[in-house]
Amino acid sequence: MSDKTSSPLEQSRALTEYWSPRVIAEVNDLYIKVAKLKGEFTWHSHDDSDEMFMILEGDLQMELEDRTVALAKGDVYVVPKGVLHNPVAQQECLVMLFERKDTLHTGTVRSNRSRSIAEQLASFAGQ
């Protein structure tokens, strides 16, 4: 992270790995992250914190236990704490995430797509 001004859309476009969010800013106790998504993620929840998605480009289906929420460019959706969810992007989708600093990428679920906070911070550390 740095004090440089840059576009979240451009930063998300520059990512080379799907489902691997990168921290681009911090506000109080929140990290602002960007991610490039494609395919299906993993069912998970965040027991103690909400998670906000803002769609920068593309479309995202947020699967919940009782329904699916369709999100398009410009949409904002908050997954409430404790709600089991699974993001799915049929085509490439760019998102900005707003999460508490202690929010684990895949909640209590561990998979090959899980990324530590250190990994999410590392990408933009030199900017």
The CATH number that applies at residue 48 is 2.60.120.10
Task: Supply 69's token pair.
Answer: 């929420």
Q: Within a domain: residue 34?
A: yes
Cα 22 to Cα 52: distance, rounded to the nearest angstrom:
15
Whole-prediction pTM: 0.81
Residue 1 lies in a domain: no
pLDDT at residue 126 in the model: 40
Residues ≥6 apart with Cβ < 8 Å to 122: none
How many structural domains does the chain have? 1
pLDDT tens digits for 34-90?
999 999 988 989 889 999 999 999 999 999 999 999 999 999 999 999 999 999 999
Is 127 inside a domain boundary?
Answer: no
Strand partners, 68: 63
**Residue pair 23/124 in contact by the 8 Å Cβ criterion:** yes
Task: Give the structural domain span for 114.
Answer: 8-122
2 SS3 class: coil
Q: Is residue 92 part of a domain?
A: yes
Q: Tell me if 88 is assigned to some domain.
A: yes
Residue 3 domain flag: no
Reduce the DSSP state of residue 126 to 3 states and report it: coil
Domain annotation covers residue 85: yes
